[in-house]
């Protein structure tokens, strides 16, 4: 396992998981459950950086598809990730977990700007750092933001919690015979367009040798299992 001796991880959650069973928005009860999972991981000794998508509130690509200017739509998506970060911060702090939100789009009244050394200090002091607003520029996804922060913070692995339990050779929701990989190379993900994360995020992880672990966050207790090297997951790494 490339993550067995890992100490610091970046956990990327899709915004959709914050909806719980709702059609859109934030389900506080489900966010509270997610926060318990993150706290459990922290209590097990991991240093945790968090990145949360914004698709439960607004997705820039979807806005652009409906005729909105792409850059403007992407900025709206970035603001959605800040809302999600604040919701997760609130849930974590209610459990007694000290948390800081750092946003790539400056908004000093609600959170800190992204300052790498300050984030390092927070992690050293046992705080969880939530990075919001992606990379702070349009045309990049929160996946790219997660890969960038993982590299910047020298994380040992990037854990991507989604609604599927790994990487498949085709969409498991549409194809019952889809095969799940236990491990797959960065190059195969890129060559076969396996939709783990967008290509720039995968390439950034490959260039910095950061394994990507894809698992389902919707299963209760699954984060702890996957961190312990158990449970269904796919590890994207070098050949």
Q: What percent of the chain has pLDDT over 90?
A: 79
pLDDT at 138: 96
Cβ neighbours, 10 Å, residue 193: 8
Span 80-108, pLDDT tens digits: 999 999 999 999 999 999 999 999 999 99
Residues flagged as binding site for ATP: 12-15, 55, 59, 162, 168, 171
Query: Residue 47's domain spans which residues?
Result: 3-232
Query: Has residue 71 been placed in a domain?
Result: yes
Whether the Cβ atoms of residue 161 and residue 15 lie closer than 8 Å to each other: no
Q: At what angle do helices 70-94 and 28-43 cross, to 10 degrees?
A: 70
Within-domain flag for 96: yes
**Domain assignment of residue 221, yes or no:** yes
Within-domain flag for 78: yes
At 174-195, the pLDDT tens digits run: 888 899 999 999 999 999 999 8
In a domain, 22, yes or no: yes
- Torsion sign, CA atoms 229, 190, 196, 134: positive
214, 160 contact by CB (below 8 A): yes
- Rounded CA-CA distance 210/2 in Å is 9
Q: Is the pLDDT of residue 65 over 70?
A: yes
What pLDDT, on the 0 to 100 scale, is given for residue 1? Answer: 43
Contact 25, 57 (CB under 8 A): yes
Q: Report d(CA 99, CA 183) in Å as an integer.
A: 32
Count of domains forming the chain: 1
- pLDDT, residue 4, reads 58
Write out the binding residues.
Answer: 12-15, 54-55, 59, 74, 135-142, 162, 168, 171
Give Rg (Cα) of the chain: 17
Domain with 209 in it: what CATH number? 3.40.1160.10
Q: Is residue 239 part of a domain?
A: no
Say if 158 falls within a structural domain.
yes
pLDDT value for 230: 87
> Is 238 part of a structural domain of the chain?
no
**What's the pTM value of the predicted model, to 2 decimals?**
0.94
What residue numbers does the annotated binding site for UMP cover? Answer: 54, 74, 135-142
Nearest to 234 by CA among 190, 196, 198, 191: 196
Query: Has residue 3 got a pLDDT over 90?
Result: no
């Amino acid at each position: 396992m490339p993550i067995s001796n890992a100490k610091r991880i970046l956990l990327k959650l899709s915004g959709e998981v914050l909806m719980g069973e709702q059609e859109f928005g934030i389900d506080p009860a489900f966010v509270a459950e997610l926060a318990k999972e993150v706290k459990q991981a922290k209590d097990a000794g991991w240093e945790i950086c968090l990145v949360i998508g914004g698709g439960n509130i607004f997705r820039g690509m979807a806005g652009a598809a409906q005729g909105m200017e792409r850059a403007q739509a992407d900025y709206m998506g970035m603001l959605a990730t800040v809302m999600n970060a604040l919701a997760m911060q609130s849930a974590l702090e209610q459990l007694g977990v000290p948390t800081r939100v750092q946003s790539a789009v400056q908004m000093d009244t609600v959170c800190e700007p992204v300052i790498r050394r300050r984030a390092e200090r927070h992690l050293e002091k046992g705080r969880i750092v939530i990075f919001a607003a992606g990379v702070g520029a349009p045309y990049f996804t929160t996946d790219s933001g997660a890969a960038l922060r993982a590299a910047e913070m020298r994380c040992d692995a990037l854990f991507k919690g989604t609604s599927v339990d790994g990487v498949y050779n085709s969409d498991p929701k549409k194809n019952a015979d889809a095969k799940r990989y236990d491990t797959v190379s960065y190059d195969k993900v890129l060559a076969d367009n396996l939709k783990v994360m967008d290509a720039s995020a995968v390439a950034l992880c490959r260039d910095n040798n950061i394994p990507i672990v894809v698992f389902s966050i919707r299963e209760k207790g699954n984060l702890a299992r996957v961190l312990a090297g158990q449970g269904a997951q796919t590890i994207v790494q070098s050949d």
